[in-house]
């Protein structure tokens, strides 16, 4: 009975630790030295199909973003420049339309994370980055003909048998992205706490069993 309980507990601990994984931090930068004054950056994050696993893109360490204008946030988007923005891939497209200062580098860090999905019909989620002029409607640079994006980052959530991955496509040389590599599932801090608590309980059960045997 105790052995069965220990197996169930260990399975629950391990399944919790593998429920949410993340990839390395990437740096996205756009060189706007050929432009002057002020413009806008459009950041969109969405799933390519309804089969995509729940995922987020967390943005931080902003450079060149203008704080004098109120950004337009839509979809599953929350946060601020100070705290960082979190964008979700479900319930439509998450979007950040933010003022930026031209004449130098515009940049931010991005961390992708997501729950483990099914290997069947595995689908991408895409973070697109586009640049607009001061009129908020004129696309700048030589971006993707379909979306106008200067760069796109494609996040593929992990499955029980495959690691997560991030790939990138740069459409204009003014944009750049740090190297991306496939990352094996890594427990989040909350999962480590759960695992530690579960293993601690297993240890307690083992000590009680040994104490009972010694008493006999």
pLDDT of 178 reads 85
Whole-model pTM over 0.75? no
Query: Quick one: angle between helices 189-215 and 2-17, nearest 10?
Result: 170
Position 183 pLDDT exceeds 80: no
pLDDT of 21 reads 59
Residues 6+ apart with CB under 8 A from 194: 13, 16, 17
Average pLDDT rounded to a whole number, residues 144-149: 95
Q: Are 114 and 166 in contact (CB under 8 A)?
A: no
pLDDT greater at residue 111 or residue 185? 111
Inter-CA distances, 210 with 3, 130, 146, 205, Å = 14, 64, 67, 9
Inter-CA distances, 165 with 49, 51, 193, Å = 17, 17, 25
pLDDT of 10 reads 38
Which residue is it, tokens 């967390």?
58
Identify the helix (H) or strand (E) that includes residue 47.
strand 38-47
pLDDT digits (tens, 9 = 90+) for 24-40: 899 999 999 999 899 99
């Amino acid at each position: 009975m105790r052995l069965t309980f220990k197996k169930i507990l260990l399975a629950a601990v391990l399944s919790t630790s593998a429920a949410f994984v993340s990839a390395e931090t990437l740096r996205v930068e756009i060189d706007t030295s050929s432009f002057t004054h002020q413009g806008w950056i459009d950041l969109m994050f969405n799933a390519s199909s309804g089969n995509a696993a729940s995922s987020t893109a967390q943005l931080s360490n902003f450079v060149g973003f203008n704080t004098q204008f109120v950004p337009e946030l839509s979809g599953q988007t929350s946060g601020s420049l100070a705290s960082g923005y979190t964008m979700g891939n479900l319930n439509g497209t998450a979007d950040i339309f933010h003022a930026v200062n031209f004449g130098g580098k515009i940049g931010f860090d991005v961390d992708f994370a997501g729950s483990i999905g099914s290997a069947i019909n595995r689908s991408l989620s895409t973070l697109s980055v586009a640049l607009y002029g001061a009129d908020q409607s004129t696309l700048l640079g030589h971006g993707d003909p379909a979306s106008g994006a200067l760069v796109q980052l494609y996040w593929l959530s992990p499955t029980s048998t495959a690691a997560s991955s991030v790939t990138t496509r740069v459409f204009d040389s003014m944009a750049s992205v740090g190297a991306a590599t496939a990352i094996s599932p890594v427990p989040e801090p909350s999962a480590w706490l759960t695992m530690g608590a579960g293993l601690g309980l297993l240890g307690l059960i083992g000590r009680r069993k040994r104490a009972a045997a010694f008493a006999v």
